[in-house]
Amino acid sequence: MTYLHDSKDNKKTLLIYFLCLIPLVIYGIYKNGYLLYINKYISFISIFKPLILIFIAVILTLLVDFLFDKKIEINYNLLNSIIISLFCPCNINYLVFIIVLFIYLLINKLFLKNISFNKICLVHLILVFIMFLLNKYSYLNLGEVNNIYLYNISDIILGRGIGAISTTSIILGLIIYSILCFLTNYKKIIPLISYLVYLITIILIMFIQKNINYELIFSSNIILGFILVSTDTLTTPYYLKGEVIYAIFIGMFCALISIKLPFEGIFIATLIGSLITFLFNKIGKYLEK
């Protein structure tokens, strides 16, 4: 029997993840809530949209867990739902969010439990597609729609740039990354290598096209996507060399797609990468031996 276990278990890991995401939410409330409120673009309640989305995600996940398993527990499903809510566009419709998330959670419990792929990416792409169909696809908040801002590099890095509802700050993203690196479960090599490969590829493409776009080089969505979305433990390789190959793949793919779809490139690349994780594991196993 094993009586003694390492103290760094799932519950501790998830707790650290949740604590790390708080600054992102607070900044999201500030940038896409408070600043718009004081300029009279939105109502008082709308300031807290990032928090409301998280609240909805938590309630729906726990409800579905309770319906199927008759128990409420903190697990990676909850973390995934919260991350989905963080990466939503600013003008996401509450009803669309609730319906899509609820249907996903039900289908996941019934049919997708044993199928391994990055579900955060799938749900996000579905949400964005529905917004596109409703003619509401945009990552601009109301202030950005009505005004033209000339963002420089420091604006983008500090979080004043265009992005999802809670993922505009690169500085906060880097702080989160450095904290998560202390978790032994966290596959820290993936964001590092994937962003490096992405950077090299995107600069090469821009060089060929003779069009430098700083918003693509310092995209908060992409950086935070590599940190939070592409490192999902369940759908990433578990051999170190497999992780490296996976990171190179998604970095390159993300760069190629981001030219046309700057906000969705990371999700499409990660989704495809997660579907062929078994290949990366096989290659990783072969290389380790």
Partner 1 sequence: MKYITLEKNPNIKINKKIEYFYNPDYIYIPFDNKAKINVDSLVLKDMPLGDGISSVSGKILGISDVYNKQNKTKALVIANDFREKCAKIKKRKDNIDILSLVKSVSLYDEKLFNIFKSLNKVERIIINAIDDELYVANNIINFKENINDVLEFLDKLIFLYKAKETLIVIKNTESELIEECLDIIGSYPLIKLTLLENVHLLSQKEFLLNKLKVSENNTLYLTMNDLVKLEKIVNYNLLDSTKIITICGDLVQESKVIIVKKYTLLKNIITKYITIKDNNYILICNSLINGFRCNLDLVITDDINVIYIMKEKLVEEEACIKCGKCLSICPKNIDIVDHLEKNKKCKLCLKCGLCNYICPSHINLTKVLKGDD
Interface contacts to partner 1, rule CB under 8 A: 1-10, 13, 75-76, 184-185, 187, 233-234, 236-240, 285, 288
Q: Which is nearer to partner 1, 61 or 169 (CB)?
A: 61
- Residue with token string 């945009």: 138
User: How many Å from the N-terminal Cα to the C-terminal Cα in the chain?
Assistant: 30
**Shortest distance, position 1 Cβ to partner 1, whole Å:** 6
Of the pair 209, 233, the CB lying nearest partner 1 is at: 233
DSSP 92-115: --HHHHHHHHHHHHHHIIIIITT-
| Lookup: tokens for 118 | 């990055």
Please report how close the Cβ of residue 185 comes to partner 1 at its closest, in angstroms: 5
Residue number, 80 or 141, with CB nearest to partner 1: 80
Residue positions counted in the chain: 289
Using only the alpha carbons of the chain, give its radius of gyration: 19
Residue type, 272: I
Count how many Cα atoms sit within 13 Å of the Cα of residue 50 in the half-sphere of its side chain.
Answer: 26
Site of tokens 């044993």: 114
Instruction: Tell me the closest approach of the beta carbon of residue 212 to partner 1, in angstroms.
Output: 39
Cα–Cα distance, 221 to 205 (Å, whole number): 19
Do residues 168 and 220 make contact, with C-beta atoms less than 8 angstroms apart?
A: yes
Q: Nearest 5 degrees, angle CA 99-CA 104-CA 108? A: 155
Q: Token pair for residue 5?
A: 């276990």
Q: Which is nearer to partner 1, 10 or 146 (CB)?
A: 10
Q: How far is the CB of 150 from partner 1 (least distance, A)?
A: 44
Q: Name which of 50 and 242 has its Cβ closer to partner 1.
A: 242
The least CB distance from residue 279 to partner 1, in Å, is: 14
Place of tokens 């990676």: 76
Nearer of residues 11 and 136 to partner 1, judged by Cβ: 11
145's CB contacts (< 8 A; 6+ apart) are 138
- Residue placing its CB nearer to partner 1 in the complex, 144 or 243: 243
- Measured from the CB of residue 79, what is the shortest distance to partner 1 in angstroms? 11
3-state secondary structure of 32: helix
- Contact present, 194 and 254 (Cβ < 8 Å): yes
Q: Which of 86, 112, 127, 108 is nearest to 229 (CA)?
A: 86
Report the nearest approach of partner 1 to the CB of residue 32 (Å).
32
Task: Compute the least distance from the CB of residue 21 to partner 1, in Å.
Answer: 18
Query: Please, which residue, 75 or 147, has the CB nearer to partner 1?
Result: 75
